[in-house]
Amino acid sequence: MPDDTHETRIPASCPASISEILNHAWNHNLASLKPLLSVPGRASVQEPTTGETPLHAAIRSCGPQTQGNDEANSKQTVTVDIKAAQAVVQELFLSGAIWNDVDSNNETPGCVAARLGQEELYNMCVGAGMRAELLFGLLDGYEALESDVEDEEEEDENGSAAAEESTEDQKDAPEDIILESDPDRAFSPPQAGDTVTSAAYLRANLTYTDGKLVDDEQNGVMMAWETSIMRASVDALLPGLPAGKRILNIGFGMGIIDTMFRDTQPSRHHIIEAHPEVLKHVETSADCKFGKDWESNGPAEGAYKIHAGKWQEVVPKLLEEGELYDAIYFDTFGEDYGQLRMFFTEYVPALLDEGGIFGFFNGLGADRKVCYDVYTKVVEMHLTDAGLDIEWNELDVDMEGLGEEGKGEWQGVKRRYWTLDKYQLPIITLMG
Ligand SMILES: C[S@@+](CC[C@H](N)C(=O)[O-])C[C@H]1O[C@@H](n2cnc3c(N)ncnc32)[C@H](O)[C@@H]1O
């Protein structure tokens, strides 16, 4: 449990220009804080050794939400503190405070609020995160949407990886860039966290072992613990599991979801897979039941097929051929959120037949609850913009074996990309 005391978080060594702001935030002294925030960047100063920001300080000093015996008394104390804290947090956000800076405990202000059970403050962090990410999407999203294969390959030839994250990855702070050279933000976070780029992933060697598929840097591409999520996704995409449906799945991975789709006896089952080693596994592994025999045993020519290639290249061809589906699932690896957004904005409305359902693996920001909650809201707004309706089904995730980095299911996997005991399963339909 992190040490939340004032002397630990704002040590005596803290430069006066920073500690002054942090202390006013800690004490919820809005009157003294406000004038200091009129200088750009001051709402995001960081204690150089602990990474404490004014947001962390304002939230942390509230302590844990109490539910003591003397309810009337404790409620009153909490209400007074929380109202003052809320006013400070609001002022900080208005003055440009960054919602997802991490401190030396690898906690964002939202993580601190969640740990202390400070729900209102937590919700303020989620709201600020959503607004920041929507704005970032407006400023930069179009570049991401238009970034095509060539852009990506160009970056790759130059050996420099774009700041790209997987849909199974956490989105980091675009805002971090803004104040990078500010000496009052000299703190370096404990885990910078590498990101996987699509082009590098598609060139990597892959290993199928018991219960997981990893790349040559031990990034978990797909893991068997996700089976219950795949099961619930199939049940949601094909309510009642009727036979004869037309299905499109993007990303074969371990074939977990495709095996479930296949068991429903679809009339069409198309899979798109880009990685050469996954395709080789499909062809050569005795355990894999999606090879040539499966393709040739479909109810019609081309009804069961693995389309080799990136979905960005294959999907336009399927559209030209007039394919329509009752169920579409999207679960790739190494791609940024812009790609998922492009898929549901530009292609889902054209590929989904009336009454059809679209779903995707919702792992955005899943290594941190506050990021997951922010991205769930961001995706919802973007889906609505794209003319799609969304419902969320909350699932319990059995965390047995998933609780600790490098242990249990995560043994041999570089990064614990899932940390949450709840999964938000998206069920998406065309707006009526
Ligand atoms: C997380 S796995 C899918 C797991 C799958 N849902 C299952 O149940 O086993 C992601 C898959 O997407 C594939 N992939 C990544 N980028 C792709 C792209 N642009 N087009 C098609 N497939 C892609 C990867 O090679 C990998 O096989």
What percentage of the chain exceeds 90 in pLDDT? Answer: 80
Q: Give the residue from 199, 130, 198 showing the smallest Cα distance to 168.
A: 198
Q: What is the CA(235)–ligand 1 centre distance, in A?
A: 20
pLDDT at 231 over 50: yes
CATH of 6-130, one of 3.30.300.100, 1.25.40.20, 3.40.50.150, 3.30.70.20: 1.25.40.20
In the predicted structure, residue 73 carries a pLDDT above the cut 90: no
Tell me how far the alpha carbon of residue 166 lies from the centroid of ligand 1, in angstroms.
11
Q: How far apart are CA 50 and CA 74, in angstroms?
A: 30
Residues with CB under 6 A from ligand 1: 198, 221-222, 230, 250-257, 272-275, 278, 310-312, 331-335
Mutate to test the pocket of ligand 1, among 167, 168, 230, 273 (most ligand atoms within 8 A of CB): 273
Which ligand 1 atom minimizes the distance to the CA of 213?
A: 2
The domain limits of the chain are: 6-130, 199-430
Fold designation for 199-430: Rossmann fold (3.40.50)
Confidence of residue 80 (pLDDT cuts 50, 70, 90): low
Task: State the distance from the centre of ligand 1 to the C-alpha of 252, rounded, in angstroms.
Answer: 5
The mean pLDDT of 379-403, rounded to a whole number, is 96
- Over residues 97-109, the pLDDT tens digits come to 999 999 999 999 9
Quick one: pLDDT band at residue 429, thresholds 50, 70, 90?
Answer: very high
For range 156-173, the mean pLDDT: 38
| Neighbouring residues of 295: CB distance < 8 A, sequence distance ≥ 6 | 304, 305, 306
CA of 331 to the centre of ligand 1 (A): 6
Gap between the Cα atoms of 198 and 153, Å rounded: 9
Instruction: Assess whether pLDDT exceeds 90 at residue 147.
Output: no
CA distances from 255 to 252, 278, 406 (A): 5, 10, 24
Q: State the pLDDT at residue 188.
A: 81
pLDDT on residue 303:
98
- Find the 143 Cα to ligand 1 centroid distance in Å: 23
Distance 84 CA to ligand 1 centre (A): 48
Arithmetic mean of pLDDT, 273-284: 97
Distances (CA, A) of 315 to 227, 248, 311: 26, 10, 5
CA-derived radius of gyration, the chain: 24
**SS3 category, 208:** strand
Nearest CA to ligand 1 atom 20: 310
- Among the atoms of ligand 1, which is closest to the Cα of residue 332? 12
